[in-house]
Chain A
Amino acid sequence: MAAMRCVSRLLTRRTINTISTRGYADEMSFTFAAGNQVFYDSQSVRQVDVPSFSGSFGILPKHVPTLAVLKPGVVTVFENDGAVKKIFVSSGTVTINEDSSVQVLAEEAAAVENLDASAAREVLSKAQSELASASTDQARAEATIAVEVGEALVKAVE
């Protein structure tokens, strides 16, 4: 009887193992590169949340292939060991390909913990004053983008 129980325990453990390996097989190869720094290079992660102009969304392995344009905001990466990393991006693109490879390319990016709250507020106020003093359409558009980035920066720091 005891032997039987032992065998059955072994069996259940085996099934758990197969499930976990199958879960592992559905991994994505995640690349996160910015002009100033590379955060991930074809690494496997559990989930990525990105802010895009068509709305923020989370990416899990086997996400449907799509393209998106990043909005200023915070990209959240859930690593396989459970660690959560928050990275601020100013702009960029997200590509999700058929083979579960995900590329996040940003113009500039920095880890949220490295951001300085007072400097962020300064950026925002400077951008707002630029917007107020902008004369041409192009300058106004540029200042609007700067304000957007500034607002997102301040929000990310808080």
Chain B
Amino acid sequence: MLGRFGSLVPVVAQNVQIQQQQRGMATLKSISIRLKSVKNIQKITQSMKMVSAAKYSRAERELKQARPIGSGASQFYEKAEIAAPAELPAKLLIAITSDRGLCGAVHTSVARLIRNELNNDQQNLKVVCVGDKSRMILQRLYGKSIIMACNEIGRLPPTFNDASRLADAILKSEYDFGSGEIVYNRFKSVVSYSTSTLPVFSLAAVKTAAKLPVYDSLDDEVIQSYLEFSLASLLFYAMKEGACSEQSSRMTAMDNASKNAGEMIDKLTLTFNRTRQAVITRELIEIISGASAL
């Protein structure tokens, strides 16, 4: 181990010497290489911004259509005043993220909320990760709490089919939860979103609700299928909100990246020109002083 370090040090020292020897020319070259790569990065971030702007406008249009579904589905839970049952403390958290990164803090803020909940009570909490990003963030420390993860989210806009398949998988997972929360990013405007939660409940929780007797002619089967459908609609709504905030956040992130790249390009062009001028001046001095010495 030590021997290897010993042989490395002289190599590094040699390199520094070579670089110092031919500084003028080499920096000119290296600056132009860096300039080129930053310009390429700017092109990439700019086109990514364009793509996500187009995707965002579509996502926002679709979100407007999905909002009544979400509010309609959650209204029963609010108006019937359903609370989590005390005898069944098991809880389910559904993290709505996607597979794609480079979009600011949308995924980390969802994961952070879940992490805080898990730190409080790891016994009765299980997590369903929708999208690879939340799984990647959570699995290292809380891998045992994850009961399910799904990917291939975010490439295409979410559909009701995706949501109902997810709801089906959650109901078939045989995790007996009393209540749950869907953690998602609620879209506010192009520049802001807030990480919020939507409650979901199981049949056991609904049956113990104080206001349930107000509702007429209910049997378990009706409530069960009602709950299954409302879980799907809530998931659909949350996925739409998540997709919209993700695209808008990616748009701002890429806009910032292009701006920063622009600043870097400006600075690099300035140093490039300065160095070039310095090289020319030095060569002139060399020629002139050489000629006058003759």
Picked from B68, B75, B211, B216, the residue with its CB within 8 Å of the CB of A66 is B216
Number of B residues near A (Cβ < 8 Å) is 29
Chain A residue with Cβ nearest B236: A35
> Which of B41-49, B180-188, B222-230, B256-264 touches A?
B222-230
Task: Judge whether B4 is part of the interface by a CB distance below 8 angstroms.
Answer: no
Take A38-B65, A98-B79, A98-B214 as given contacts and tell me if A33 and B222 are in contact as well, using a CB distance cutoff of 8 Å. no
Q: How far in angstroms is the closest Cβ of chain A from B62?
A: 10
Residues of B contacting A95 in the complex (Cβ-Cβ under 8 angstroms) = 72, 75-76, 226
Task: Judge whether B159 is part of the interface by a CB distance below 8 angstroms.
Answer: yes
Inter-chain contact B65/A37, CB cutoff 8 Å:
yes
> Which of A16-24, A100-108, A113-121 touches B?
A100-108
Task: Judge whether A97 is part of the interface by a CB distance below 8 angstroms.
Answer: yes
Inter-chain contact A99/B229, CB cutoff 8 Å:
no
Task: Judge whether A58 is part of the interface by a CB distance below 8 angstroms.
Answer: no
Residues of B contacting A31 in the complex (Cβ-Cβ under 8 angstroms) = 68, 71-72
Residues of B contacting A54 in the complex (Cβ-Cβ under 8 angstroms) = 217, 222
Task: Judge whether B156 is part of the interface by a CB distance below 8 angstroms.
Answer: no
Question: Could you tell me which residues of chain B, from 219 to 259, have a CB within 8 Å of some CB in chain A?
Answer: 222-223, 225-226, 229-230, 232-233, 236
Inter-chain contact B215/A67, CB cutoff 8 Å:
yes
Inter-chain contact A93/B75, CB cutoff 8 Å:
no
Chain A residue with Cβ nearest B219: A54
Take A31-B72, A54-B222 as given contacts and tell me if A97 and B79 are in contact as well, using a CB distance cutoff of 8 Å. yes
Binding site for A on B (CB under 8 A): 65-66, 68-69, 71-73, 75-76, 79-80, 159-160, 164, 211, 214-218, 222-223, 225-226, 229-230, 232-233, 236
Binding site for B on A (CB under 8 A): 31, 33-38, 41-42, 53-54, 64-69, 91-93, 95, 97-99, 101, 103, 105, 107-108
Please provide the 4 A-B residue pairs with the shortest distance between their CB atoms, ordered closest to farther: A35-B160, A103-B72, A33-B68, A64-B216
